[in-house]
Structure 1
Amino acid sequence: MTEAYSTPMARRLPEGGGPAAGHPTPASETGGSLPGWDLSDLYRGADDPALVADRDRADAEARAFRERYMGAVSDLDGEGLGAAIAEYERISETLYRLMSFAQLRHATAQTDAEVGRFYQGMHEAVTEISSHLLFFTLEINQLDDDALAARLKAPAAAAYAPWLRDLRMFRDHELPEAMERLLHEKDVASRSAWVRLFDETLAHMRFDIDGQSRTVTEALDQLSDSDRARRETAAKAVGKGLSGEVRLFAHIVNTLAKDKQIDDQWRNYAHPMAARNLANQVEDSVVDALVSAVKDSYADTAHRYYAMKARWFGLDKLATWDRNAPLPDAEDRRYSWDEARDTVLRAYDGFSPRMGDVGRRFFDNAWIDVPPRPGKTSGAFAHPTVPSAHPYLLLNFMGRTRDVMTLAHELGHGVHQVLAGPKGVLLADTPLTLAETASVFGEMLTFRAMLDAETDPRRRRTMLAGKVEDMLNTVVRQIAFHEFERRVHTERGEGALSEERLNDIWMEVQAESLGPAFDFDDGYRVFWSYIPHFIHTPFYVYAYAFGDCLVNSLYAVYQSGSVPGFQDKYLEMLAAGGTLRHRELLAPFGLDAGDPGFWRQGLGVLKGFIDELEQVA
């Protein structure tokens, strides 16, 4: 497989995801200034001599590595193979550091042309350097199983056994080295270029709301306003704005889907999701069972809840801008940044002081970029960077309860990445499905702590409804997104999809998942076009539902007290990084994602919350 040297980011969708040079840190709507991150732990700036030195040294070392090992991997003994992998890992870490800095700098200034040029230049340089290394993993995969097993008897090679295991999953899907290198080098002018065009187009967009120019983050936040007229105004402005760019977004989707289709055909993948499932180290049957379980639950989860919400609002039908609206009698509570921080850390501390201590590092140091600002990417993410540094978190904090939950989510990713970091660049990274475990678990801890501390029945109902909506957004909505992608990629095999066809597929999956309680307006037809996961990481979205259902089952075990030392076992699971598969990770808790009943058990938690709401309502 070709390797894109841009470290993965665990991203949260924008609708319920010292500061970068040249960007002020604005005041929060809730009062007080919001912190920005300091990227100097990576490099002091774009002109840092250390950055130039790292780039030049990595280039020289990659060329020397190719000269030394190309065509000779099969001649290495176990100790020699282990030493070669260690050298490959060291060069890779430098490349990841360079790209992490460029990505993070660009994420907060996507409309800055100079920052964009630096990001593109670094991407091209790292891609060229890393092309010298592509032969190595291909030659490893040319070793037969017995030959590799003999080499793994040596401790130096055995240390990388999990990485080798995962690498060899792709043996049947690799192309000759010259083709892999061509595809790798062309990425900067093909797929990555389209992704950047999408990101920067969205970052440049402004939506006219009541005479004020709003970014996409600000406009989407207004969809959760307590004033229905303000929600409607925002929804129509977003629909109008996206409609103006939908031709471009449709072209990007069609181009990337065709690009993926060509890649899948050459690599002999059986269906559009096959590559993602393989990378996630999860069997097709497990994903199919998850999707089927969630779709079968639509009537008893989303349809039932939104019908109840319509009654609370005194409406026959909800409008699309009512989906994330606070309840009619809910307080429009806004949290300050300090309140949000303390709320999340208390929940983490209550579960495990060690977990709280790791989380506290992100606040004691400048590892989080918090304020929304023009040019900053929407949504939120956690970026692991490299083990020799530390992760960074990006938020767009507006002070709502959902923003507190987003902080808990991204901090979960950050804690996971810190704990797994000692495994090293090649062994620390986890599949997307397991990467969402720590984040969703962090949300659940925070929600439970907030709910347990609340004694007012009305506020408890509001909190419970908010949690149900978050779970619906994480499970039902993400599976609907997954169905949208599946249908788009399947139909793209027969030819390009028109804007109207993309709109139609979107409306079909939305109506199916949200149910008869909604009256869908025409402006909503284009809302598919701002979802970044469709562009950045095809078929990412089911990982959210996977993680939520997994965490529900995991949290039930924690609450039951049936597993002694649960907290230590949980942190050990996170510290394992990518060394273990989901069956091995869940075995200490008596759970098995391959069991068809596993997903029903996780969905049962959501149904139970809705049952409780019906009783208190």
Structure 2
Amino acid sequence: MMTLPFPVRDANTGSGGEALGNLPEWDLSDLYSAPDAPELARDLDWFDKEAASFAADYDGKVASLSPADLLTAIQRSEKMDQVAGRIMSYAGLRYYQHTTDATRAKFMSDCQERLINASSQLVFFWLEFNQIEDSAYDTAMSASTDLARYKPVLDRRRAMRPYQLSDELEKFLHDLGAVGDAWEKLFDETVAGLEFTVDGEVMGIEATSTLLTEPERATREAAAHEIARVLGDNVKTFARVHNTLAKEKEIIDRWRKMPTAQTGRHLSNDVEPEVVEALRNAVVAAYPKLSHRYYELKRKWLGLDRMQVWDRNAPLPIDDPRTVDWATAEKMVMDAYAGFDPKMAEIAEPFFSKGWIDAGVKPGKAPGAFAHPTVTNVHPYVMLNYLGKPRDVMTLAHELGHGVHQVLAAGQGEMLSSTPLTLAETASVFGEMLTFRKLLSEAKTDTQRKVLLAGKVEDMINTVVRQIAFYDFECKLHAARREGELTPEDINALWMSVQAESLGPSFDFMDGYETFWAYIPHFVHSPFYVYAYAFGDGLVNALYAVYEEAPEGFQEKYFDMLRAGGSKHHTELLAPFGLDASDPKFWDKGLSMISGFIDELEAMEEA
């Protein structure tokens, strides 16, 4: 009945520097003015009463509702989702600002438990909705255009019909969800509380992983070994979290008779398993001409006999080591957005001026980056850990793309605005591409062009190759967990089984690298999320090729696609551009853009 909207951190975040200027912080008052705000207490009370009233009105009656009454029920459900989403967005965002603050953690847990307790009365609704016969459902959709507007999201709900359990079991699983959430919170708090010491300085995971992009190789090596040491010291905790959550998922999937561990993700993404399989196979087949080929080039640029894992994100010797301050980063991204269409910059501007971005690295703040849509009658919030390197600028462009998408899709309303993960990455990756192309067009020398191309290739490899390797790791992890408990060494071996294959023969792997799976949040918060990054990158590469070939009228078609939110299937959204993601050759087109950039880099070497 109700989805509690916690943000999911994005995959590729940036690296560090100083003298960044005035970094913005969130102003959460558009949600609530304070944890004890009377408006928040009012909304909690309203939710309690409305949940009870809704159950009294509809429990046991959904299948017999007229189209008009069904529409009213869905709209009431949507309103409850909005109120609950507002409450949990406020509680969740406050928590992510300072995950080690016990009062914030308690506040979030208390809000969550109260909403879960009240919403347990609502579980019946979608269960009964899915028991409506197909013929009656089709008749209702035909009888009311207002009701038919919800059909795309209702169809996705009904896709769960074959896997639905009894009403009693569904209510039990709903209530039990708080236990899995507690394990996720344990993971977050453990990661946020980790301390690493490099060159006498104590720091968190974000700042330490940033050192892996430093120009000094000794610093990168020290950081890599320190990450390995600390993760190794905590690996039993991380293995317990993964074992527990994977086992919980296996039990639920088994009871639902889901054919694979990935089925639930594919259903929620509204994407066919064969499309994901075609994407995965295309990327794996392309490893030699993408990551293997690029890292061999990079090995030569760095003057190394062998690459080590701490060299993967090393800057090139010709890189400009300057720090990009916040004002410069804002101008770079906003200029790129405005160059595509002034409307895009107009939508993005309030993020900077109205406290919709929290950019600084602070003790206890969650690592990574995300754009959280909150609810459609407020606005999104973007979280960064901005440390001033070019990749941080690309992260800003990425998250701001999400924000623009969420603003445009809000007009669809609470149920239809939410975009499946496969398409949710489209605007973010497109925002990165716009920023990259803008910078590339302004490059004044071959050296500048080479640095920009190499940086983009690395980002694309991280977005496509690395995320598909992550997906393969998760597939192996969940398959192995179905056979029994996994030791830390078992999980380490699964991790290493995908690393050499994806990174290629130029690399050696230090002792301790086998634990680097442990702090990646997607595996815990949103299993199998990661293929959405590769899907989004391939999709954007194809879209951008269409834009270059025929720019006239592209912008409005693009904005229409974003405005659609989750109201259309990917085949409908891509049809105006002449694209079809169900065609296996589609992915080869997207991958060829990356390969083409590497071709250009190789040609520069030979010139």
Of 1, 10, 13, the match for 2:11? 13
Match of 1:23 in 2: none
Q: Secondary structure at the match of 1:195?
A: helix
Match of 1:507 in 2: 496
Q: Secondary structure at the match of 2:516?
A: helix
Match of 1:601 in 2: 589
Inter-partner Cα distance in structure 1 for 2:167 and 2:535? 35
Q: In the alignment, is the contact (CA less than 8 A) between 1:79 and 1:155 conserved in 2?
A: no
Structure 1 residues 487 and 531, CA gap change in structure 2 (3 angstroms): same
Q: In the alignment, is the contact (CA less than 8 A) between 2:12 and 2:395 conserved in 1?
A: no
Q: In the alignment, is the contact (CA less than 8 A) between 2:6 and 2:89 conserved in 1?
A: no
Q: Which amino acid aligns with 1:466?
A: G
Match of 2:576 in 1: 588
Inter-partner Cα distance in structure 2 for 1:105 and 1:403? 23
Structure 1 residues 14 and 246, CA gap change in structure 2 (3 angstroms): farther
Of 168, 172, 175, the match for 1:182? 172
1:90 aligned to 2:79? yes
Inter-partner Cα distance in structure 1 for 2:510 and 2:109? 39
CA displacement at 1:5 relative to structure 2: 2.8
Match of 1:20 in 2: none
For 1:376-391, what aligned pairs fall within 5 Å after superposition?
376-391=365-380
Residues 231-284 of structure 1, C-alpha deviation per residue, up to 9 Å, x if partnerless?
111111111111110011011111111111111111111011111011111111
Inter-partner Cα distance in structure 2 for 1:344 and 1:128? 43
Match of 2:272 in 1: 283
1:145 aligned to 2:122? no
Match of 2:351 in 1: 362
Inter-partner Cα distance in structure 2 for 1:206 and 1:6? 30
Match of 2:231 in 1: 242
CA displacement at 1:177 relative to structure 2: 1.7
Structure 1 residues 4 and 505, CA gap change in structure 2 (3 angstroms): farther
CA displacement at 1:108 relative to structure 2: 0.7
Inter-partner Cα distance in structure 1 for 2:363 and 2:14? 20
Structure 1 residues 4 and 504, CA gap change in structure 2 (3 angstroms): farther
Q: Secondary structure at the match of 2:23?
A: coil
1:173 aligned to 2:163? yes
Q: Which amino acid aligns with 2:104?
A: V
Inter-partner Cα distance in structure 2 for 1:137 and 1:167? 8
Inter-partner Cα distance in structure 2 for 1:15 and 1:209? 20
Q: Which amino acid aligns with 1:460?
A: R
Q: Which amino acid aligns with 1:267?
A: R
Q: Which amino acid aligns with 1:185?
A: D
Inter-partner Cα distance in structure 1 for 2:558 and 2:118? 38
Root-mean-square deviation (CA), in Å? 1.3
Match of 2:604 in 1: 616
Inter-partner Cα distance in structure 2 for 1:289 and 1:28? 40
Q: Which amino acid aligns with 1:13?
A: A
Of 306, 311, 322, the match for 1:317? 306
Inter-partner Cα distance in structure 2 for 1:391 and 1:254? 33
Q: In the alignment, is the contact (CA less than 8 A) between 1:12 and 1:380 conserved in 2?
A: yes
For 1:246-325, what aligned pairs fall within 5 Å after superposition?
246-325=235-314
Q: Which amino acid aligns with 2:170?
A: E
Q: In the alignment, is the contact (CA less than 8 A) between 1:99 and 1:123 conserved in 2?
A: yes
Residues 331-382 of structure 1, C-alpha deviation per residue, up to 9 Å, x if partnerless?
1121110111110011111111111110112112110000011101100001
CA displacement at 1:217 relative to structure 2: 0.4
Unaligned stretches of 5+ residues in structure 1: 18-26
Q: Secondary structure at the match of 1:382?
A: strand
Inter-partner Cα distance in structure 1 for 2:275 and 2:93? 34
Q: Secondary structure at the match of 1:530?
A: coil
CA displacement at 1:313 relative to structure 2: 1.1
Q: Secondary structure at the match of 2:427?
A: helix
Q: In the alignment, is the contact (CA less than 8 A) between 1:82 and 1:156 conserved in 2?
A: yes
Q: In the alignment, is the contact (CA less than 8 A) between 1:348 and 1:356 conserved in 2?
A: yes
CA displacement at 1:156 relative to structure 2: 3.4
Of 563, 566, 569, the match for 1:575? 563
Q: In the alignment, is the contact (CA less than 8 A) between 1:16 and 1:470 conserved in 2?
A: no
CA displacement at 1:320 relative to structure 2: 0.4
Inter-partner Cα distance in structure 2 for 1:39 and 1:600? 43
Q: Secondary structure at the match of 2:532?
A: helix
Inter-partner Cα distance in structure 2 for 1:74 and 1:273? 30
1:406 aligned to 2:395? yes
Match of 1:160 in 2: 150
Q: Secondary structure at the match of 2:290?
A: helix
Q: Secondary structure at the match of 2:512?
A: helix
Of 420, 425, 436, the match for 1:431? 420
Inter-partner Cα distance in structure 1 for 2:401 and 2:8? 10
Q: Which amino acid aligns with 2:557?
A: K
CA displacement at 1:4 relative to structure 2: 5.4
Q: Secondary structure at the match of 2:182?
A: helix
CA displacement at 1:30 relative to structure 2: 2.6
Inter-partner Cα distance in structure 2 for 1:380 and 1:313? 29
Which range moved further: 73-82 or 257-266? 73-82
Match of 1:212 in 2: 201
Q: In the alignment, is the contact (CA less than 8 A) between 1:294 and 1:603 conserved in 2?
A: yes
Inter-partner Cα distance in structure 2 for 1:235 and 1:340? 28
CA displacement at 1:159 relative to structure 2: 2.7
Q: Which amino acid aligns with 2:21?
A: G
Q: Which amino acid aligns with 1:547?
A: G
Q: In the alignment, is the contact (CA less than 8 A) between 1:15 and 1:220 conserved in 2?
A: no
CA displacement at 1:91 relative to structure 2: 1.2
Q: In the alignment, is the contact (CA less than 8 A) between 1:5 and 1:130 conserved in 2?
A: no
Structure 1 residues 208 and 4, CA gap change in structure 2 (3 angstroms): farther
Q: Which amino acid aligns with 1:386?
A: V
CA displacement at 1:14 relative to structure 2: 5.4
Residues 406-456 of structure 1, C-alpha deviation per residue, up to 9 Å, x if partnerless?
000000000000000011111100100000001000000000001111112
Match of 2:47 in 1: 58
Q: In the alignment, is the contact (CA less than 8 A) between 2:20 and 2:388 conserved in 1?
A: no
For 1:72-83, what aligned pairs fall within 5 Å after superposition?
72-83=61-72
Inter-partner Cα distance in structure 1 for 2:498 and 2:174? 34
Inter-partner Cα distance in structure 2 for 1:522 and 1:462? 31
Residues 171-195 of structure 1, C-alpha deviation per residue, up to 9 Å, x if partnerless?
111112221111111211x211110
Q: In the alignment, is the contact (CA less than 8 A) between 2:283 and 2:465 conserved in 1?
A: yes
Match of 1:489 in 2: 478
Q: Secondary structure at the match of 1:522?
A: coil
Inter-partner Cα distance in structure 1 for 2:101 and 2:6? 23
Q: Secondary structure at the match of 1:240?
A: helix
Residues 263-309 of structure 1, C-alpha deviation per residue, up to 9 Å, x if partnerless?
11111110111110111111110010000000000011100110111
Inter-partner Cα distance in structure 2 for 1:481 and 1:76? 45
Match of 2:91 in 1: 102
4+ runs deviating over 4 angstroms = 14-17
Inter-partner Cα distance in structure 2 for 1:423 and 1:11? 24
Q: Which amino acid aligns with 1:165?
A: D
CA displacement at 1:479 relative to structure 2: 0.4
Inter-partner Cα distance in structure 2 for 1:130 and 1:421? 24
Match of 1:133 in 2: 122
Unaligned stretches of 5+ residues in structure 2: none
CA displacement at 1:150 relative to structure 2: 1.6
Inter-partner Cα distance in structure 2 for 1:62 and 1:163? 21
Match of 1:566 in 2: 554
Of 543, 551, 562, the match for 1:554? 543
